[in-house]
Structure 1
Amino acid sequence: MLKSILTRLLAASIAIAAFGPLHAQTSGGAPNMAQMGNQVATFSGSMHAAAEVCGGYTKDQLADMKAKQKQQMTKMGLTAQEFDTAFDTGKKKTDERWDTMSKAEQKSACEELRQQMSQAFNGMIK
């Protein structure tokens, strides 16, 4: 589960980086920009839920990150309501997954996520 989450995060980040400038230069944006924005917002909600369980962030930090993500997505054409709906959907689904896991499984999943994120970002920064 967490590997697929990481993969989706990286793919979404790459897509935003690649298509964000294109969207700004074209009238009406790229055809799938709204769909991509919804996917990114859904994923942001999933990561928010994971961060709540795994720790490392205060509630204020999480709220600030969400606000910044929302601002970025609205610059790309997603409405604030669309962002909130997609974010809440991702958060709810991930919350439900965490609720089915034991504390030991949650701890293991958090450690795996931390390792995956560390490896992914260390490999990207040279």
Structure 2
Amino acid sequence: MGNASLPAESHRPDRIDLMLPEPLDAIDTFGMPAVRAGIVRAAAANGSVTAEQLMSDLSVSRSTITYHIKPLVAAGLLVPNADPTRAGARSGFNRLIWSIDRAALDAHLKALEAELTGSPRSE
């Protein structure tokens, strides 16, 4: 078909095209695994989540949820609590609900910003 040109009107962008994917996904940019980000999003949106909810919402296995929850708990971002509706459940994992520690999340985000920009951390 050759180099057929389009009418000038179709070449006028409504925004500056920076050759970035739309929308720019900060999670991908900074290398956080999508499942881990999904866990944080789900816990933040719902107040707390169970493993069953996460497996269903994120369409992943229990072992994948376990793998991604461990570093979030270790970092203090995700807080495990006993699920009062599962007091008699046989598996300890099934008896937990996780919630976000907002103060820890804010601290981690500030630390990330400081590391990326070279600015001193404000406590």
RCO higher in structure (CA 8 A, sep ≥6): 1
- What is the TM-score normalised by the length of structure 2? 0.31
Bigger fraction of residues in helix: 1
User: Could you tell me the TM-score, scaled by structure 1's length?
Assistant: 0.30
Answer with 1 or 2: which has the greater Rg.
2
